[in-house]
Amino acid sequence: MEFPAISKSHLLNFDPNPKPLPLTFHSQTNFRFKSTDHVIKNRFYIFSESKNEYTTTNISSLFKNKKTWIHFVGVGGCGMSALAMLALKQGFEVSGSDIVWNEYMDRLREAGARLFVGHSVLNIERKGFGSCLPDKVVVSSAIGSDNVEVLHAKAMGVHVLKRGNWLGMITEHHNLVAVSGTHGKTTTASMLAYVLSAMGVDLTAVVGAQVPQFPGGNILCCRSPNFILEADEYDGCFLQLSPYIAVVTNVEWEHADIFQDEEAVKNSFKRFLKQIKVGGHLILCRDSEGAYSLVSETCIGTAPVLSKCSSQPLDAGYRVTTYGTSSLNEWCASSICPNSQGGTDYVLCHMGSPVADISLQLTGVHNVLNSLAVIAAVRALINDYWPTQRLIDCIRLHLHNFIGVSRRFEMIGIFNKCHIYDDYAHHPTEVRAVIQAARQRFPLKALWVIFQPHTFSRLAAFLKDFATALGDADRVVITKVYDARETGLSNVSGRDLAVSVVGPLSEYIPSVVCQIIFSIFFISP
């Protein structure tokens, strides 16, 4: 996926400080914005008159008692740790194991989880009180089927679920907004949850990274039926979900250990779209050829192209809204340019007409696209009875206040006048996007990149693409491959990538004294 060049803009004149619009919920299936007389028929918020409480607020009600014991295998991962923390906050008893201790596990232990380093049958057995075995065991996609805890749990009749099955279970009775895509889903899901929460919407959110503005780190937890989820395609995880709204940021080949080629990835996303509830909504980036192909092939009639019109219904039973930098989209960004905060400004257009100036603290065109997805999703949630302009004024205030996600072009510090940034980019498209973002923020500085390839299968599949993407830096250092979930030897190495980079000086240094990196950027004076 290519990103357009950044240009200068002539910004529109709208109120720079719109007042936020707090929500008040009533004991009917509608709610009222305090600042207006508009009452909105609401399909996203569910309230029970008979019980005077939300009808889908407590996942532990799916089980017999509130102290159901859930054990997470691979609990140290960013996604699994979020699910474990959510389970704790929802009243479950939580335990978990992983091969090494990390900061996610620190937070879980402080919150009351029982955690173990290493995998052992003893981790899921206890004596003296309560249940001797977990009620359920949730397994990370990174855990093999031969794991001793998994095998023992199955042998003892314990219900063992993959992460995707657990997500499907805990979101089944919620109004789910699932944010998917090959790239950008973590930032987009975090930004969406932050904006809605800042607007006064009660919700639960689970994302795969630490979000500084989330009190729970990588989750928000609220007694509400509304659920914002980062929906991962790896291992078919998102195929267990039934979202009311699905966001697709982009689609291209990724996870070469799971998907043979891009067509396999697209087929998985097509299956995901079939999970959208009837009457639901698809928010899709038309700039992504892979994402656009998901709907252009299934539109009503024979015409394969969506025209520029609002929220088109498909025969699949949901509506489609597109966004991107092209004027063909319902929501588009024009006049994209850097701002004085090191972020990005653009003019937001709806149906081809400019409606607002948007100013982000985040750098890069990819974050412009992420913010457009948020705008479209919020607009789909707050339905057509709410005036678009007033809603946009509220959204753009909170978009401006969003400061980003950890390990997404995150400032680490300054050493010897060099600005050091950390980024999780582990795909060629992501590497290109973050290098472009660094050039945007520091147009006159030299850019050094330390890159650790993530998995042998990905490096083997995208070696040439990585070499091309890294060629945009001024100097490149490649480390040994982080093998993650993969085992065994491979016929490709970090050295192969280092010698393939054309242009900047590139060298192979097997070990760098720091935690697991993927991309670290040194911006030198």
Return the residue matching tokens 């997404």.
408
User: 282 and 248 in contact (C-beta within 8 Å)?
Assistant: yes
- Is 297 buried (19+), middle (13-18) or exposed (0-12) by CB count in 10 A? exposed
Residue environment code for 43-69, b if the CB has 16+ CB neighbours within 10 A, otherwise e: bbbbbeeeeeebebbebbeeeeeeebb
Q: Which residues contact 402 (CB under 8 A, 6 or more apart)?
A: 190, 191, 194, 195, 213, 360, 361, 362
Sorted by where each begins, the domain ranges of the chain are: 69-165, 173-401, 410-524
Three-state DSSP at 45 gives coil
Q: What is the token pair recorded at 501?
A: 């980079």
CATH class entry, domain 410-524 = alpha beta
pLDDT of residue 132: 87
- Contact, 243 vs 280, CB < 8 A? yes
pTM: 0.83
Mean pLDDT of all residues in the chain? 82
Closest CA to 392 of 14, 10, 42: 14
CATH value of 69-165 in 3.40.50.720, 3.40.50.1000, 3.40.50.10490, 1.10.287.1080 = 3.40.50.720
Task: Dihedral sign for Cα 280, 286, 289, 293, please.
Answer: positive
Identity of the amino acid at 215: P
pLDDT at 140: 93
The b-or-e profile of 225-235 (16+ CB within 10 A means b, else e) is bbbbbbbbbbb
How many whole angstroms separate alpha carbon 477 and alpha carbon 125?
A: 46
Q: What is the pLDDT of residue 390?
A: 85
User: Which residues of the chain, if any, have pLDDT below 50?
Assistant: 7-61, 64-66, 297-310, 313, 515-517
417/507 Cα distance (integer angstroms)? 23
Residue with tokens 């909105």: 40
So what's the pLDDT on residue 511?
Answer: 76
Q: What's the rounded Cα separation, in Å, for the pair 108 and 510?
A: 32
Q: What is the predicted pLDDT for the residue at 523?
A: 60
Say what the pLDDT of residue 490 is. 76
**What is the three-class DSSP state of 253?**
coil
- Distance, in Å, from the CA atom of 477 to the CA atom of 493, rounded to the nearest integer, reads 13
Residue 483, pLDDT score = 82
Looking at 3.40.1190.10, 3.20.20.70, 3.40.50.300, 3.40.50.620, the CATH number of the domain 173-401 comes to: 3.40.1190.10
pLDDT in tens, 3-38: 665 543 333 333 334 333 333 332 223 333 333 333
Q: Output the six-digit token pair for 457.
A: 């299968």
The confidence score (pLDDT) of residue 86 equals 94
